[in-house]
């Protein structure tokens, strides 16, 4: 289905561990709309273990002013949120205070991001050690993780505006 992308191998020396990003879409829905999603999560391989990584991710998100739980923040309206997303040439570049990552996205994902003008970003405080960069994640595995009540209530949820390169 899709493959996660890692920020860098050096991240395992930090409390957050290896940070990973995975893009996907939900659709199309009955009304033919497609919503692009991005999820950031840790493998839980930080220097102090998964529990410390969870606490470090929670602190990083709260430091950004993002609530933890099922409330969705609209970053276009709450401009103090330090999160940016550039989508161009089937690449998504996500910048957060604690990471910057570029990942390949399918053409359908990019088209939906530009048409919607935003992407639904989920940042999980819970590690997902089974979703290793470079290995495919099935739709069932992804759905099970992102819909797990523990993951939903322990993550940040952001509608993030899409930026483009100006020519």
Q: How confident is the model at residue 114 (pLDDT cuts 50, 70, 90)?
A: very high
Q: pLDDT, tens digit, for every residue of 52-100?
A: 999 999 999 999 999 999 899 999 998 788 999 999 999 999 999 999 9
**So what's the pLDDT on residue 78?**
84
Q: How many CB atoms lie within 10 A of CB 9?
A: 9
CA–CA dist 147, 139 (Å, integer): 12
Question: 5 pLDDT band (50/70/90 cuts)?
Answer: low
Mean of the per-residue pLDDT values for the chain?
A: 89
CB atoms near residue 80 (< 10 Å): 7
On whether the pTM is more than 0.85, the answer is: yes
Q: Quote the CA–CA distance of 167 and 152 in Å, as a whole number.
A: 38
* 8 A C-beta contact, residue 122 and residue 156: yes
The encoded tokens of residue 157 equal 């949820």
- Indicate if the pLDDT at residue 105 is higher than 50: yes
Residue 3 reports pLDDT greater than 80: no
Q: What is the CA radius of gyration of the chain?
A: 15
C-beta of residue 155 within 8 angstroms of C-beta of residue 124:
yes
| Cβ contacts of 57 within 8 Å, gap of 6 or more | 16, 42, 123, 124, 125
Which of 37-41, 55-59, 76-80, 126-130 is predicted least confidently? 76-80
pLDDT at res. 79: 77
Kindly indicate the confidence band of residue 7, based on its pLDDT and cuts at 50, 70 and 90: low
């Amino acid at each position: 289905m899709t493959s996660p992308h890692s920020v860098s191998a050096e991240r395992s020396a930090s409390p957050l561990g290896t940070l990973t990003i995975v893009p996907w879409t939900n659709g199309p829905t009955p009304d033919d709309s497609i919503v692009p999603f991005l999820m950031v999560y840790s493998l839980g391989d930080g220097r102090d273990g998964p529990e410390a990584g969870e606490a470090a991710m929670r602190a990083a998100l709260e430091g950004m002013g993002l609530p933890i739980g099922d409330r969705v923040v609209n970053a276009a309206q709450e401009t103090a949120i330090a999160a940016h997303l550039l989508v161009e040439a089937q690449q998504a570049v996500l910048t957060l205070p604690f990471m910057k990552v570029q990942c390949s996205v399918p053409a359908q994902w990019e088209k939906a991001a530009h048409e919607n003008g935003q992407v639904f970003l989920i940042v999980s405080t819970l590690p997902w050690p089974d979703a290793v960069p470079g290995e495919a994640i099935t739709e069932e595995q992804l759905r099970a993780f992102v819909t797990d009540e523990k993951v939903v209530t322990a993550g940040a949820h952001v509608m993030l505006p899409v930026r483009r390169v100006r020519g």
